[in-house]
Amino acid sequence: MPEKSDYDLENSLGMLLDWTSQFMRLELNRKFAAAGLEATSEQWKILIILWFEDGLTQQQLAEKTFKSKVSLVKLVDGLERRGLVRRTPDPSDRRSNRIFLTPKGTSIQEQLIGLAKTNLAQATRGVDPQELTQCIKVLKRVLVNMKGSDSEQNE
């Protein structure tokens, strides 16, 4: 029979990761909406990658964002519906779509990035920079530990 004192829910890593990621994502969505930008935080993750390297396939975007190819379908649907990207069939491999930023998609990048930075600054307010670096190091290790269990998914 497990002891109740064994579980410190408020301080559990799993709970804290869920809560912090959710609050940050929600607040970023609110900042985007408040600025009149019709993009969500998840769509932003795609847009920022395309800003670095335009014309990637859905599969490549999936790999870079750790999302499944299935998730990319709806995400690109949404981005296309809002006129931020366009799907272009790859002439050399007709299975693939290449995703390109539209002028509208390019034009909102600066605002999106500014708001994302504001959000990050708000999240880390009062946190010692060295402790933050340490925390990020731990999270990267957690990511490596869990990615192993995820092999052979999303393929």
Partner DNA sequence: AGTATACAGTTAATTAGTTAACTATTAGGC
Partner DNA sequence: GCCTAATAGTTAACTAATTAACTGTATACT
| Binding site residues, DNA, CB under 7 A | 22, 26, 30, 40-43, 57-59, 62, 67-76, 78, 87, 92-97, 153-155
Residues 6 or more apart from 50 whose CB is under 8 A from it?
56, 61, 85, 99, 100, 101, 105
Measured from the CB atom, is 88 or 122 closer to a second copy?
A: 122
CA 94-44-100 angle, 5° bins: 30
Residue 140 binds: one of a second copy, DNA, none (C-beta under 5 to 8 A by kind): a second copy
What three-state secondary structure class fits 100?
Answer: strand
Among 102, 107, 53, which Cα is nearest to 81's? 102
Residue 93 binds: one of DNA, a second copy, none (C-beta under 5 to 8 A by kind): DNA
Least distance between DNA and beta carbon 145 (Å): 17
Stretch of 48-56, 72-80, 83-91, 99-107 lying at the interface with a second copy (CB under 8 A):
48-56
Q: Which two tokens stand for residue 49?
A: 């990658």
Q: Which amino acid is at 104?
A: K
Q: Decide: 24 and 123 in contact? Cβ < 8 Å.
A: yes
> How far, in Å, CA of 131 to CA of 137, rounded?
10
Residue 2 binds: one of a second copy, DNA, none (C-beta under 5 to 8 A by kind): a second copy
Residue 35 binds: one of a second copy, DNA, none (C-beta under 5 to 8 A by kind): none
Least distance between a second copy and beta carbon 69 (Å): 15
Measured from the CB atom, is 22 or 124 closer to DNA?
A: 22
